[in-house]
């Protein structure tokens, strides 16, 4: 995928998010390597923030859909990147949207079935609080992803961490995570998350079977 890395670096500097540059480039390289993203594809970025939207503004063939519970961030991004589709989901999250009206355990993404070639959940399941929310989000992901589509997802797992349903740093057991993805996601790549360092997440790229 032809994203100009010099331009990406400059834009990240301009937006003051240079600290996210290397993990973004790392993800782009892995998606290339594992054929998870091709020109003309549709990305759904859940808990999107800004960084992949900015990267995809350099690849105009990509159809990018960003969803987040943070209304300010979605509003600002929709002005900055009007070529993308933006969804503000007023879903409750103790850290990011404590007064949200919608229940995350039953929330249905306002996104059509089988549209996504790649679903991104970067540092999202690390804030989802309960196992029921994670299960609901994974069910919705299975609904919106195309057969053969890819999922990029990161977790805090136990061990090595203590199980925790705090939105600041949600941890599920390794067995729970494996149970939630087994039978429908074929893992192509996983790395890290083996120690308790605060930001050390178990990162996965899988393909829907």
Looking at the Cβ atoms of 144 and 183, the one nearer to ligand SAM is: 144
Looking at the Cβ atoms of 91 and 116, the one nearer to ligand SAM is: 91
Residue 113 CB burial class (10 angstroms; 0-12, 13-18, ≥19): exposed
- Smallest distance from ligand SAM to CB 89, Å: 6
- Smallest distance from ligand SAM to CB 47, Å: 3
- Smallest distance from ligand SAM to CB 107, Å: 7
- Smallest distance from ligand SAM to CB 76, Å: 12
Q: How far apart are CA 33 and CA 31, in angstroms?
A: 6
| 174-181 helix and 131-144 helix, angle to the nearest 10 degrees | 20
Which residues contribute to the site for ligand SAM (CB under 6 A)? 20, 46-49, 51, 68-70, 89, 91, 93, 96, 104, 122-124, 127-128
The closest residue (CB) to ligand SAM is 47
Pairing of strands 116-121, 42-46: parallel
DSSP string, 40-60: T-EEEEET--SHHHHHHTT-T
Looking at the Cβ atoms of 90 and 148, the one nearer to ligand SAM is: 90
What are the residues whose beta carbons fall under 8 Å from the beta carbon of 197, sequence distance 6 or more?
none
């Amino acid at each position: 995928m032809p994203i100009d890395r010099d331009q990406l670096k400059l834009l990240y500097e301009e937006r003051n998010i240079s600290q996210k540059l290397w993990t973004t480039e790392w993800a782009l390289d892995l998606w290339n390597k594992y054929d998870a993203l091709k020109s003309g594809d549709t990305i759904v970025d859940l808990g999107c923030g800004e960084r992949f939207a900015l990267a995809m503004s350099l690849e105009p063939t990509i159809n990018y859909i960003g969803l987040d519970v943070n209304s300010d961030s979605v509003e600002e991004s929709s002005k900055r990147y009007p070529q993308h589709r933006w969804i503000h989901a007023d879903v409750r999250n103790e850290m990011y949207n404590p007064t949200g009206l919608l229940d995350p355990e039953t929330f249905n993404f306002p996104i059509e079935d089988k549209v996504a070639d790649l679903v991104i959940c970067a540092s999202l399941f690390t804030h989802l609080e309960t196992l029921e929310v994670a299960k609901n989000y994974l069910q919705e992901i299975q609904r919106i992803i195309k057969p053969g589509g890819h999922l990029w997802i990161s977790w805090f797992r136990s061990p090595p961490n203590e199980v925790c349903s705090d939105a600041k740093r949600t941890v599920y057991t390794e067995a729970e995570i494996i149970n939630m993805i087994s039978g429908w996601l074929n893992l192509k790549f996983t790395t890290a998350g083996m120690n308790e360092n605060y930001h050390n997440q178990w990162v996965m790229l899988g393909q829907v079977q």
